[in-house]
Amino acid sequence: MLSRFKYLKPHNLNEAVQYLEKEEKSFVLAGGTDLMILLRRNLINAEHIVDIKGLPEMAEFEFIDGAGLTIGASVVVNTVVDSEVVKTKYPALHQASASLASFLLRNRATVVGNICNASPGADLPPALLVYDAVVNIAGPQGMRQVPLHEFFTGVKRTVLQRGELVISVQLPDPGDGDKSIYLRQARLRGHDLATVGVASRIKPDGKVAIGICAVAPTPLRLFALEEKINERELNQETVEWAAEEIKQHIHPITDVRSSAQYRLQMASVLLKRGLSHLITKEDNHG
């Protein structure tokens, strides 16, 4: 049974921020696909729920040439899946979004909710991380921006302070000649969280970026591994080397979904598969 809470649907951002700051036990509601489960199971002590779907700033979904893509906090995952710009410019994000749960769930779940929930195994962070995503946050002190790789602080923990909420996530324009891919391993087809998910990107300047989930308390951008790869010529030999080297850069745990050993092995396989695909690919389509 749901515990009792007060429900607020503000129509301007100030009202939302003030309410979240004033009421200690308040939670933001976007699509509710994570939050409602926590409420129903009484896993959180929520006395106030602030529904952000009425805030106009949250609905932004826009790509500007040269500037990039903005995804507002009420934009649902299916909007991203259906976007031609995302398919063409940010294929790893398209693939990660299309892999999330089911069509019905994606019609409700938001991209920003997937970040704010801060699950170590969430599918969207690896893809957003390789595109150098930045999180736009509003709070009692005004607006601030945090790079996504600094946003996660632990399992289900983020840098968000009392009174703060995320307005949008922003991705720079990758430019022409960018290539990327998201590959995930799960126990079941469809409705299962990833055992491991790896986003691989080769930027127009030939540099590699790698994002990964379910191998640490937070989704990770593997900067140290990228640096080592980028010191080498990017060919199949380097890819084989990187697929072994990644095991030194992650420290997965054993849980209900997988053993740590299997996660290590799958991270290696998915990186090899992803980078091999990208280095033999002429363009970013398909």
Ligand X SMILES: Cc1cc2nc3c(=O)[nH]c(=O)nc-3n(C[C@H](O)[C@H](O)[C@H](O)COP(=O)(O)OP(=O)(O)OC[C@H]3O[C@@H](n4cnc5c(N)ncnc54)[C@H](O)[C@@H]3O)c2cc1C
117 sits near ligand X (criterion: CB under 6 A): yes
- Give 147 or 177: the residue with its C-beta nearer to ligand X: 147
Among the residue ranges 82-90, 159-167, 220-228, 274-282, the one whose residues contact ligand X (CB under 6 A)? 159-167
Among the residue ranges 6-14, 110-118, 142-150, 200-208, the one whose residues contact ligand X (CB under 6 A)? 110-118
Of 13-32, binders to ligand X (CB under 6 A) are: 27-32
Among the residue ranges 79-87, 128-136, 158-166, 256-264, the one whose residues contact ligand X (CB under 6 A)? 158-166
- Give the separation between CA 131 and CA 148, rounded to whole angstroms: 10
193 sits near ligand X (criterion: CB under 6 A): yes
Q: Where are the alpha helices (DSSP H) in the chain?
A: 13-22, 35-40, 77-82, 84-89, 91-99, 103-106, 111-116, 124-130, 148-151, 223-230, 236-245, 260-279
User: How far apart, in Å, do the first and last CA atoms of the chain sit?
Assistant: 45
- Give the separation between CA 16 and CA 34, rounded to whole angstroms: 20
122 sits near ligand X (criterion: CB under 6 A): yes
Of 205-244, binders to ligand X (CB under 6 A) are: none
Closest-CB residue for ligand X? 113
Q: Is 278 left (phi over 0), alpha (psi -120 to 50) or beta?
A: alpha
Instruction: Output the CA angle 52-58-61, nearest 5 degrees.
Output: 150
- Give 189 or 285: the residue with its C-beta nearer to ligand X: 189
In the list 13, 105, 260, 269, the residue contacting ligand X (rule: CB under 6 A) is 105
52 sits near ligand X (criterion: CB under 6 A): yes
Alpha-carbon distance values, 271 to 16, 46, 71, 179, 260 (Å): 41, 40, 27, 14, 17
Closest CA to 273 of 179, 188, 198: 198
Residues binding ligand X: number (CB under 6 A): 29
- Give the separation between CA 286 and CA 281, rounded to whole angstroms: 10
- Give 115 or 239: the residue with its C-beta nearer to ligand X: 115
109 sits near ligand X (criterion: CB under 6 A): yes
Sites of contact with ligand X (CB under 6 A): 27-35, 37, 52, 73, 100-101, 105, 109-110, 112-114, 116-117, 122-123, 160, 165-166, 191, 193
